[in-house]
Structure 1
């Protein structure tokens, strides 16, 4: 299972500190999902080797303008292994863009309906279940967060859309062990295996995109042999 978190300067903890905590909690990997205007400087391979965890270079794109958002998605797609987009008023645009891996916390600053979820399924965009607000708020705000997640679960389940799960941590103290996220998932109607699948999906995204970026990639399921040449 993998988690995805914001590191300094987008969050409070360094990538190394997040990786150490995630490894101690039993995660196999950590996706660094800093917003594009707050990138972290780090060596994922060195940190991963030090703490025994797969550190994945990701980004969470955000922009107020639709055309600027589309341009940022394209530029980050060339450089990042995992491309998330900050949910909000452009949720539909994001769900219709196959270059996007994850629509991040779509219910926080926007809404989701059956049209968006079907578009996400058709374009392979994972919808994120952000458990952070449930874990870090109380009272009416927590109730509202639970209501939004239950609505999202019903839509994702009905239309069989792909999804990921995260606590969306901004420091190492906000990271939660898988067992805690499993408990939150049960409170919104998920079974434990569904939450595990949502955590594992981050790793599947990283593996797929690394393969696509490799020199040996031709098409899904086909890799170039040592002596094979491909017309370009």
Structure 2
């Protein structure tokens, strides 16, 4: 795949996940990633590690906003937008899904599927396209799902993919990893995406061009933070602060 850089934009580290940023960085690099986003949940105390760059792998500070009332979403998006590189919203509720795709400051709708359907319909797909909100396909739902649950996930993903194609909605493949061993190599993620009908080029774009476009958009709007680096296993800002 040449010089393509791959990114996983749904990774959880301590205290939301089990492993440290440094451990995940090392393992993600080993798997062939060019970077990843730490999308710890907003309802986890002290859950926002800083981003970093080391040995050719970029780590972006992000958040996965968890909210039960869609009326509170705009306030939370405003709270985090200027402090993180990537804003994702934990969906799975039809009202939350709608609020997320109607909010231009949101980058990713994560876990859109509900217990009854894929969580995306024609109206929401149009809004996601208009506001450039990427729809996530979290592959852990396939890997960890069993029996009927996996069948339903594949069906939901297939329907969401059809809508994304029809309305030109950006799509993103993620691992939703909570430890190093939840991560999957880019080629494995591309192979898994075939199970719900995603073509190879679509999958590559969802792991490379789309994540890069999110960072480029936010950088151009002045959102993306200054880089930081790990020094003596402590994360400090690149200007020494």
TM tier relative to shorter chain: 0.7 to 0.9
- Deviation of 1:141 after TM superposition, in Å, equals 1.3
Of 215, 218, 221, the residue aligned with 1:209 is 218
Distance 1:56 1:211 in 2: 16
Question: Which moves more between the two structures, 106-115 or 60-69?
Answer: 106-115
Provide the residue aligned with 2:68 in structure 1.
64
Q: Is the 8 A contact 1:18 1:171 kept in 2?
A: yes
Gaps of 5+ in 1: 216-232
Q: Is the 8 A contact 1:164 1:199 kept in 2?
A: yes
TM-score scaled by length of structure 2: 0.83
Relative to total residues, which structure has the larger helix share, 1 or 2?
1
Structure 1, residues 76-100: CA drift from partner, whole Å, max 9, x if none? Answer: 1121110000112211111111010
Partner SS for 1:55? strand
Gaps of 5+ in 2: 1-5, 225-241
Of 132, 144, 158, the residue aligned with 1:124 is 132
Q: Given the alignment of the two structures, is residue 175 of structure 1 paired with residue 183 of structure 2, yes or no?
A: yes
- What stretches of structure 1 move > 6 A for 4+ residues in a row? none
Distance 2:199 2:73 in 1: 35
Partner SS for 1:213? coil
Q: Is the 8 A contact 1:44 1:55 kept in 2?
A: yes
Provide the residue aligned with 2:8 in structure 1.
3
- Deviation of 1:162 after TM superposition, in Å, equals 1.2
Distance 1:64 1:3 in 2: 26
Distance 1:55 1:102 in 2: 17
Structural mapping, 1:62-211, within 5 Å? 62-89=66-93, 90-108=96-114, 111-200=119-208, 201-211=210-220
Question: Rg larger in 1 or in 2?
Answer: 1
